[in-house]
Amino acid sequence: MNQSEELTLPRRLRRLRVSKSVRSLVQENRIEVDDLIAPLFVHEREGGPEAVESMPGVWRFSIEDTVHECRSLWDLGIKAVAIFPSIDPQNKDPDGSAGLNPDNLIYRAVRAIKQALPELVVITDVALDPFTSHGHDGLLNEETGDVDNDRTVAMLCQLAVLEAEAGADWVAPSDMMDGRVQAIRSALDRAGYTRTSILAYSAKFASGFYGPFRDAIGSKAAAGTSYLDKGTYQLNPGNAREAIQDALLDEAEGADMLMVKPAGPYLDIIRSLRERTLLPLVGYQVSGEYSQLQAAAQLGWLELERTRDESLLAIKRAGADLILTYFAKEIAQALKGGVSP
């Protein structure tokens, strides 16, 4: 095309894409280290780190190694970790009673981390699945076989108080029982933990993307083989309005922050919640979102770093303030090295 054939256009958007420098100057969203929360798995067995097979690059650490890992995350600028315990099967029962033992793994881990790194924000799940032999997030009703909402909430309140007592800064109910945020808030306040925040897993879907996580904490199918169906308490993946309703109820019940989980497949929920709440919003890029990129990269089908960065930017762009991601450490390392997603 010669000069005379050039189009006369009022606006050429490609002008702001001409070079890396220009693109960087006009970039609307970026991932910063303060956006990141690192999930960590802790085990109670002898010995060092155990690889989580379905999550390449992710480990279960002993308490000592968890503290060590927290220190290196802190040195990279990461300010929050979420701790998930992998409890030995022999310490699990149908009532998840190990959760009420103040000396169990999770409380010991929190105490050790807070002692070593008092400024690091420690987040703990409030749910029974690490402790129940059946892997559900609550107590089962003997007649219906379903998770009993109100009995579970009563127990969650005890867990939340024990977590706060151990030093958790943010407790994160991940169980999806009705009314749990309000109950946990008043239990914490009654026990004097008015400064402990509630990060509510508000819009948590009954997702197949949690598979590798359940491997990591051993809650996959404690009973045997089948993939656990949590559909009577977690949200139906087909429902957006119901998800917003659930999240806004958590806000009304006193949640300090709201979470959408999984994040990547539910960007519409993040966006529409962003438009309806003034609370900080958290997206959880869950285990399956992580593992699918790792697997495709191992097969040579996707470029890991590009897809990783893009997946996180998408969550940020949708409206999340904070992102829980198994990529947290490597992103922090990249940012430290001057590479910005």
**Cβ atoms of 109 and 130 closer than 8 Å:** no
Site for ligand PBG, residues 218 to 237, rule: CB under 6 A: 230
Residues catalogued as catalytic: 204, 261
Fill in the DSSP letter of residue 228.
Answer: P
Nearer to ligand PBG, 228 or 281 (CB): 228
The 3-state secondary structure of 4-29 reads HHCCCCCCCHHHHHCCHHHHHHCCCC
In 3D, which of 284, 206, 228, 211 has the Cα closest to residue 55? 211
**253 interacts with ligand PBG by CB under 6 A:** no
CA distance 162 to 210: 26
Provide the minimum distance between the beta carbon of 125 and ligand PBG in the complex, in angstroms, as a whole number: 5
Provide the minimum distance between the beta carbon of 174 and ligand PBG in the complex, in angstroms, as a whole number: 4
Distances (CA, A) of 338 to 36, 256, 264, 333: 16, 33, 25, 9
Residue 326 backbone phi and psi in degrees, to 5: -70, -10
CA distance 73 to 168: 17
Q: Among residues 67, 99, 106, 137, which is the contact residue for ligand PBG, using CB under 6 A?
A: 137
Nearer to ligand PBG, 193 or 233 (CB): 233
CA distance 200 to 252: 12
**198 interacts with ligand PBG by CB under 6 A:** no
Q: How many CB atoms lie within 10 A of CB 299?
A: 8
Nearer to ligand PBG, 116 or 140 (CB): 140
Among the listed ranges 1-9, 70-78, 124-132, 147-155, the one in contact with ligand PBG (CB under 6 A) is: 124-132
Among the listed ranges 66-74, 107-115, 122-130, 145-153, the one in contact with ligand PBG (CB under 6 A) is: 122-130
**210 interacts with ligand PBG by CB under 6 A:** yes
Among the listed ranges 103-111, 121-129, 152-160, 327-335, the one in contact with ligand PBG (CB under 6 A) is: 121-129
CA distance 327 to 247: 26
**287 interacts with ligand PBG by CB under 6 A:** yes
Number of residues that bind ligand PBG (CB under 6 A): 11
**163 interacts with ligand PBG by CB under 6 A:** no
Contact residues: ligand PBG, CB under 6 A: 125, 127, 129, 137, 174, 210, 213-214, 230, 286-287
